[in-house]
Amino acid sequence: MSETVNGFPEIDLEKERKEILNAFKGLMRTAKVKSKEDTKMIRKAFDVAVDAHKDMRRKSGEPYIYHPIAVARICSEEMGLGATSICCALLHDTVEDTHITLQDVEDLFGPKVRLIIDGLTKIPEVFDENVSIQAENFRKMILTISDDIRVALIKLADRLHNMRTLGSMKPDKQLKIASETNFLYAPLAHRLGLYSIKGELEDLALSYTDPDVYRNIESQLKTTKLVRDRFIRRFTNPIREALLHEGYIFEIKARTKSISSIHRKMVTKGVPFDEVYDIFAIRIIVETPVELEKPDAWRIYSIVTDFYQPSPDRLRDWISTPRANGYESLHTTVMSPTGKWVEVQIRSKRMDEIAEKGLAAHYKYKESNSEESKFDRWITEVRELMENSGGSAMDFVNDFKLNLFREEIYVFTPKGDLRVLPNGSTILDFAYDLHTDIGNKCIGAKVNNRLVPLSYALHSGDQLEIITSPKQKPVDDWLRMVTSARAKQKIKNSLNEQRKVVAQDGKDILERKLKQFNLKVVAENISVVERFFGYANATDMYFRIAKGKIDLNRIREIEEKNGLLIYEKKGPSFAQKELVENDPKAKFFEKSDTLIIGDNYKNIHYHISRCCNPLPGDEVFGFQTNNEAIKIHRNTCPNAIHLMSKNAARCVKAKWRKEDLTERIAAIKLYGIDSVGLVNKLTEIISNQHNVDMRFISFETNDGVFEGRIKVLVYDTEHLEQLMGKFEQVEGVQRVERWDMKDAE
């Protein structure tokens, strides 16, 4: 029976139905079903998908159902996944493209299948040129990885089949999909240990993004194939005979490098095709019990190197220290009799399956504790990246690629425990990998018994001892020093917490100022002040207030401009308060009892306390001493609680007169990693950049970590904070704080 369907002429529907059924039977032959229930579930998923997609066709004109069947077959045959994954692969487009809902999926197949299908379903298109839909979809899929890794595996199978059938798409679509594949999905396949799929994705992408380069390398591989095969036979013959003589059950394969990998090597090394020495690698796969895998691998290594001279610099022991994605193999590069370098990979059959199928093989070998921990560690990294993941989808994708796709380095704790970190990690990355508190308090480290700063880039084999200080805390510059997602997220969390604490201080300051001006502390007034000073949100404004960057006396201007503020029913207005402030006697003896520092009072003597050295801009109070003089203390003075609680009646409010710009002594402490010329840089800032008079400077160094003390003359807290901010920017300086000591003057 033939008819026209959706514009495609003369289609034999009966023949198609038979072909679809045959495709499904082919899938079932590859499926590793464990029970009749699994078979029934897969058949049920197939029936649902066939019915849901019955009126849909691909760009090539073939029935759409061929695509989910093909994706399911990749999951089964090339990844070794089980019944649940096959079921989800068959259903993966139903919710997105048909009348089937997620609730329907859950009702028919349960919550686990629903979770996976939800992770595979694209988010709706949005008409916003600033949003990358592909990035948003990728983020959604990654969010589900931490719940079930099969989401990523099925998505890779889906992308692989789309790339294999990309020829029917328009050229602009081909280029777009190929570029997305290179940017997102090939690196994901690599990170999950699916090396053959990663290579095929990259090759297919290259064939569309740079077809001339692809065809040229493909042609040269075909031209040199006979010569290459002959060389491989001669190279492997003595190894094969020796292994047979030793009684090993083994297989020797020759793996040709992918076209994209050859192209990458040609570009990075700047060499032509003929000079890429590792066009192929020899792989020796031995059948051996798990407990004999390591000794047998090294025994075979010994046999190989009996025939061919190894390069000491090219030995890679991924058996003793497997990669984070579970990859295990022993690699060596040896010199052939013809003067060519050849890479030899030695592994067990179990290792080879994990190398071919990556974390997809994790389920089969789950009883292996090392694999379990490595798999779970990666999932933990994913979860940590998900936590508080603000910003755009593209920011998320870039962080994800940088941190979870890059190669690893292997470093050791003082006790010899191995830690795996992304390549390019620093001291701070290592500290946060150990524990959040260690990271937050880190001031440096000893690497191989040599003191190094926080920004030191680690190398494989380094042994580290972290140096901490209870007074240390993260600063913004740390974000530029770290590589790992874990460290970056922990630093952001800490900075946000610090910002909240500072912002709370700013909120308290604003509320006191509103009350001083007889204004209600209500959301409406806060919003008016927020708009007046030009801030998008209250937190930013509070933070700037606490840092002394906003003159709250300007709130007076709001009344004059728009009169939007809400007053308390009782109390003096702005005008009345100005009368009080213009009368020194009144402002001291008014109910507020506020002493204005900088004005002269008859029979009233006051001076600045040496225990905390307050500066204009500090929140302060006065304390009447036994000789009737008043000492000015900072509210944060170590003695403040004692004075206010034991002698509250002798405490008076105080504030600085704005015009009072007398220079006063201030003391600063600095901590960090000692380096040549550090003191010169600091004194240069003091003398040249800020025109500040320095009264005292002292530096002490212990094991390369310094503590410095400086006393300077400044006008107010803003002046002091500017100076301290400059100090914080000096390389090696980790922390700058105000120094409150009785002998500071």
Cβ distance 530 to 538 under 8 Å? yes
Interhelix angle 66-73/83-91, rounded to 10 degrees, is 160
Phi–psi pair at 266, nearest 5 degrees:
-60, -40
H-run or E-run covering 671: strand 664-673
Buried b (16+ CB within 10 A) or exposed e, 704-728: bbbbbbbbbebbbbebbbebbebbe
Pick from 261, 260, 266, 239: nearest CA to 250: 239
Beta-carbon contacts of 727 under 8 Å, excluding residues fewer than 6 positions away, are: 668, 670, 682, 685, 733, 736
Q: What is the CA radius of gyration of the chain?
A: 35
**Active-site option among 19, 77, 97, 477:** 97
Q: E strands, 458-529, where?
A: 464-468
**Burial zone of 691 (CB within 10 Å; 0-12 exposed, 13-18 middle, 19+ buried):** exposed
Phi–psi pair at 520, nearest 5 degrees:
-70, 140
Q: Which residue has the tokens 């502390």?
A: 521
**Active-site option among 96, 476, 693, 737:** 96
What is the distance between the alpha carbons of residues 293 and 237, in angstroms, rounded to a whole number?
A: 23
Our answer to whether residue 96 is catalytic in this structure is yes
The angle subtended at Cα 57 by Cα 54 and Cα 62, nearest 5°, is 105
Supply the DSSP symbol for 76. Answer: I
Hey, is 486 helix, strand or coil? helix
What is the distance between the alpha carbons of residues 73 and 32, in angstroms, rounded to a whole number?
A: 11
Q: What is the bridge-based pairing of β-strands 594-597 and 651-656?
A: parallel
Hey, is 12 helix, strand or coil? strand
Per this entry, what is the length of the chain? 745
Longest dimension (CA), the chain: 115
Per-residue CA distances from 78 to 167, 626, 744 (Å): 22, 89, 73
What is the distance between the alpha carbons of residues 379 and 495, in angstroms, rounded to a whole number?
A: 25
**Residue 161 CA to chain centroid, in angstroms?**
30
Hey, is 705 helix, strand or coil? strand
Cβ distance 272 to 213 under 8 Å? no
Cβ distance 736 to 474 under 8 Å? no
Q: What is the 3-state secondary structure (H, E, C) of 510-555?
A: HHHHHHHCCECCCHHHHHHHHHHHCCCCHHHHHHHHHCCCCCHHHH
The angle subtended at Cα 304 by Cα 300 and Cα 310, nearest 5°, is 120
Pick from 254, 489, 290: nearest CA to 387: 489
Residues with catalytic annotation?
Answer: 96-97
